[in-house]
Structure 1
Amino acid sequence: MSSSIYYRLAGQGVTLGLHGANSVVMLLSMQNEEIMKDPDVKRMTSMQSRYLTVWNIAFQMSYFALAFTCDLLTVTGRDNLIPKSIRRFRQTYFSSVIFTVAAVIFTIFWPIFIYDRELLFPAFIDKIFSFKSNLVMHFCILPAALWEFAFLPRHTPKSHRLNLGIMVALFVVYNTVILHTYYERGLFPYPIFHHTYGTIYFPIFQALVFFLGLTVYLAQFKLYSLLWGKEKIRNGGKAKSS
């Protein structure tokens, strides 16, 4: 058994611990009645389910819980309990959602945050979410995905149709949610949409996000070939597989 599986288990455990602890801290902070009197904070917390960041945390926690269970079963010699469909789902889920979404959020969030945080993460949010929580939600997500990326044996799919279909569906669903939120409540989850909606910059921004996601998705296999070598990829990563 390759040692890579133990590195994966360590990374999965740390990631689940970080997200779990951070979720508890944030939930407790939202119990502070004094803070919740702030209308901006109250409005933001009422839209928790509309933030891509929150979706991504749910994606990562569900993926790493599944991955940890699969790898733990493998280490304990019970990998026969893992259906092939679950193994395939894990690979597809990681390639199309986990790695891609984490990289897109990281790449978009930090340059805009540094330029003008009010466009994505207004200062009033500091009343309820500390900078450490911000780091877990927007920074640690990429190292977590990269760690799994580095130690998970994979191969380039013969067809990218399924993965791309999942990405397109996710893009359409999320944009439907934010537009529905605007038509329902007159609000967008992120202030940048308020500034750009009704202008040419709104579709341009959406297009840039989509093509960034597409670029990240395709680039991961190029990067993977550099990391593992073409021969190992053709063999499905068997040289280092668990």
Structure 2
Amino acid sequence: MDKEHGLRTYGYGIVQALYFAIALLNDVAGSNEVTNKEGPTIRKIKDYLLAAVAFPIAMFVGVTFWSLMAIDRELVFPKALDAFFPSWLNHIMHTNIMMFTLMEMITSFRVYPRRSKGLAGLTVFMGVYLAWTHVIYYNSGQWVYPVLEVLNLWQRTVFFLAMLLFGSLLYLAGEFLNNYIWVIKKGIVDWSPLTPSTGQASGCIDK
């Protein structure tokens, strides 16, 4: 398997592993109480990490990877890699991350951060990763994604901006999904989606 593909693939796996390690630590030493009140520090870190990075990035990776695979697999996962990266491992890295993150969203309540703070965290993460892809290209002469090889400078610029926009939309989708699920399951009343101005749910837990 080529080094560049490994860097991009395992990077996403590390993000998910980090989140679930923090989630486990929160289960042991933190709190999973269904409340809009602030919890212990580990709980706040867990909630923020899922909202700003783990959920949108997991969805981003899965949707973009399988969409490009459906269009032309050579753009994202050349057939030559099959000998080194079997199908089951491919699904672990690009399918399971979506499934497990959705399961976490459904089974564990979290308080989303202020929208501006959540989107800022996601933007910083994606910006750092984008910079890292250029560092790899500068040092190796190869893009980590074959699709970038067929795009000129302006097309790559539009592509990157579109991906940043898509990531932001996935953040908003996660925010809405989290609130929608927990309104139904836990009876949060007087609920409205998080807004940029308040960044907090308007409802409270129905006792």
Residues 56-71 of structure 1 aligned to structure 2 (within 5 Å): 56-71=12-27
**Contact persistence 1:63–1:98 (CA under 8 A):** yes
Shift of 1:156: 3.7
Equivalence for 2:128: 173
* Alpha-carbon displacement from aligned partner over 1:6-28 (angstroms, at most 9, x marks no partner): xxxxxxxxxxxxxxxxxxxxxxx
**Greater RCO (CA < 8 Å, at least 6 residues apart):** 1
**Contact persistence 1:155–1:235 (CA under 8 A):** no
- 2:168 is matched with which residue: 210, 214, 227? 214
Cα distance in 1 for partners of 2:150, 2:142 equals 12
Scaled by the length of structure 2, the TM-score of the pair is 0.81
**Paired AA for residue 160 in structure 2:** Q
State the aligned residue count. 186
Cα distance in 1 for partners of 2:30, 2:18 equals 19
Scaled by the length of structure 1, the TM-score of the pair is 0.70
Gaps of 5+ in 1: 1-40, 76-82
Shift of 1:208: 1.3
Equivalence for 2:99: 143
Equivalence for 1:27: none
- 2:116 is matched with which residue: 161, 172, 196? 161
Cα distance in 2 for partners of 1:221, 1:47 equals 31
Report % sequence identity. 25
Q: Indicate the RMSD between aligned Cα atoms, in angstroms.
A: 2.3
**Contact persistence 2:48–2:112 (CA under 8 A):** no
Equivalence for 1:182: 137
Aligned pair in 2 of structure 1 residues 112, 96: CA closer, same or farther (>3 Å)? Answer: same
**Paired AA for residue 225 in structure 1:** N
Aligned pair in 2 of structure 1 residues 186, 74: CA closer, same or farther (>3 Å)? Answer: closer
Cα distance in 1 for partners of 2:52, 2:152 equals 28
Residues 95-134 of structure 1 aligned to structure 2 (within 5 Å): 95-134=51-90
* Alpha-carbon displacement from aligned partner over 1:185-216 (angstroms, at most 9, x marks no partner): 21111111111142x22111111111111001
**Paired AA for residue 146 in structure 2:** P
Say whether residues 1:205 and 2:159 are aligned partners.
Answer: yes
Cα distance in 1 for partners of 2:67, 2:168 equals 19
Cα distance in 1 for partners of 2:171, 2:4 equals 32
Say whether residues 1:192 and 2:147 are aligned partners.
Answer: yes
- 1:224 is matched with which residue: 175, 178, 203? 178
Gaps of 5+ in 2: 32-38, 192-200
Equivalence for 2:6: 48
User: Secondary structure, in 3 states, of the residue corresponding to 2:60?
Assistant: helix
**Contact persistence 1:188–1:194 (CA under 8 A):** yes
User: Secondary structure, in 3 states, of the residue corresponding to 2:142?
Assistant: coil
Cα distance in 1 for partners of 2:13, 2:136 equals 20
Q: 4+ residue runs of structure 1 moved beyond 4 angstroms?
A: 232-236
Equivalence for 1:30: none
Cα distance in 2 for partners of 1:214, 1:46 equals 26
